[in-house]
Amino acid sequence: MNNRLEKVRNIIKNKNVDAVLVTGRPNTLYLSGFTGTTSFLLISSERAFLVTDFRYTIQAKQQVFEGIEVIEHEDTFHATLNELMTDHKLQRIGFEGNTLTFSEYEKFKEKLSFANFFLNIGSAIDSIRMIKDQDEIERISEAVLLGDKVFDHILGFIKPGLTEMQVAAEMEYAMKKFGAKGPSFETIVAAGERSAMCHGTASDNVIKKGDAIVLDFGVIYRNYCSDMTRTIFIGEPSSELKKIYEIVLKAQMTALESLYSGMKAFDADKIARDIITEAGYGKAFGHSLGHGVGIEIHEDPRLSTKSEDTLVNGMVFTVEPGIYVEGLGGVRIEDMVVLVDGKPRNFTTSTKNMVIL
């Protein structure tokens, strides 16, 4: 984990600052191992300090990586940070401009009197997180496999007469029963015409025969997220829904087979989008092909028409084309992959054959 601190120290050198002050929870977890909700992580070219309060001191000492000193603030966070900056002569401070609110920034400028220069380093630390190490890949793989177990479980539970919320509740119960911390985002269960809603979170809509059901869900396991979507049918679907399912499956499989390290992310999106467009449903695929997943459910890279990202080894991301027709329903199929040795390795094992219950 010291390698992560060294990457931050390269940012410190390149940005010409004395230290970086990490305030966002995802980057704090990534760089320190601390899972608590209240802390500041101060990293200089030589030292690293996690400043927290009495509630989290014991937890922090148990969790932080080697090379990080835990400090419990005595008066206020700002007073302790200011003392550290003074003692170690840290005047030029980089901060996460994409995380820090303007009011927090104003307070830093006021309270951290020793610091005389603040530089917005934007998403520089987020960029480090795009490339997963082996430990992260293993954790994500375990999270995805746990999600596969949830999908297998719910296939034996769903039946006409249940509400979407009842299905979602059972899925989230199963997640915890199988060992997850909980869902990585609000579980999507969208049946019938509601399946045309890309983010149709569970409602009191009652599932009935003939419905398509979009199940989009994920878990948090060992601090890492999973994300998958499967579309299933309750009874025989209409001919158009069957047609749509086959188009989406072809688009997804073709995109997966075409991925390689060095590929432009927008080219991956284009492969799936062209197939859907040629089938006459281009306007019904309104979201991007995929997104990175890790400590957060949505990270870089982005696989979209406007993405400037290049896909490289170690990146973990989703591949999730979809078609959504108002008044009829929708289909989305989503897997998570990692690029290894130039090629994609698919974490997701759940069947993509059409499931009719």
DSSP per-residue letters across 12-74: HHHHT-SEEEE--HHHHHHHH----SS-EEEEESS-EEEEE-GGGHHHHHHHPPTT-EEEE-S
Residue 17 and residue 79 share a domain: yes
pLDDT of residue 2: 78
* 282 falls within a domain: yes
| Residue-wise pLDDT tens digits, 187-237 | 999 999 999 999 999 999 999 999 999 999 999 999 999 999 999 999 999
Task: Read off the DSSP letter of residue 235.
Answer: S
Residue 108 and residue 142 share a domain: no
Residue 113 and residue 51 share a domain: yes
* 324 falls within a domain: yes
- 357 pLDDT exceeds 90? yes
* Mean pLDDT within 318-330: 98
For residue 67, give the CATH number of its domain. 3.40.350.10
- 250 pLDDT exceeds 80? yes
* 351 falls within a domain: no
* Mean pLDDT within 110-124: 94
Question: Please, where are the H alpha helices in 88-222?
Answer: 102-111, 124-129, 134-155, 164-177
* 356 falls within a domain: no
Task: Tell me what the pLDDT averaged over the chain comes to.
Answer: 97
* 18 falls within a domain: yes
Phi/psi-derived region of residue 255, left when phi > 0, alpha when psi is between -120 and 50, beta in every other case? alpha
- Look up the domain containing 47 and give its range: 2-129
* 163 falls within a domain: yes
pLDDT of residue 217: 98
Residue 110 and residue 22 share a domain: yes
Bond prior to 321 in cis (omega within 30° of 0)? no
Number of domains in the chain: 2
Residue 101 and residue 25 share a domain: yes
Residue 168 and residue 31 share a domain: no
Q: Both tokens of residue 319?
A: 């591949």
- Residue 260 Cα distances to 142, 146, 185, 188, 340, angstroms: 23, 26, 28, 30, 9
Residue 70 and residue 143 share a domain: no
Residue 313 and residue 299 share a domain: yes
Q: Which of 78, 113, 129 is the last residue of a domain?
A: 129
Percent of the chain with pLDDT over 70: 100
With H, G, I as helix, E, B as strand and everything else as coil, classify residue 322: strand
* Mean pLDDT within 134-147: 98
* Mean pLDDT within 131-146: 98
* Cα 58 from Cα 36, distance rounded (Å): 11
Residue 223 and residue 342 share a domain: yes
What residues does 229 pair with on adjacent strands? 216, 334
- 1 pLDDT exceeds 90? no
* Cα 272 from Cα 253, distance rounded (Å): 9
Q: Which of 129, 151, 181 is the last residue of a domain?
A: 129
- 288 pLDDT exceeds 90? yes
* 90 falls within a domain: yes
Query: What string of DSSP letters covers 165-188?
Result: HHHHHHHHHHHHHTT-SEESSPPE
| Residue-wise pLDDT tens digits, 19-48 | 999 999 999 999 999 999 999 999 999 999
Q: Which of 129, 162, 197 is the last residue of a domain?
A: 129
* Mean pLDDT within 305-310: 97
| Cβ count within 10 A of residue 286 | 10
Give the global pTM: 0.95
- 74 pLDDT exceeds 90? no
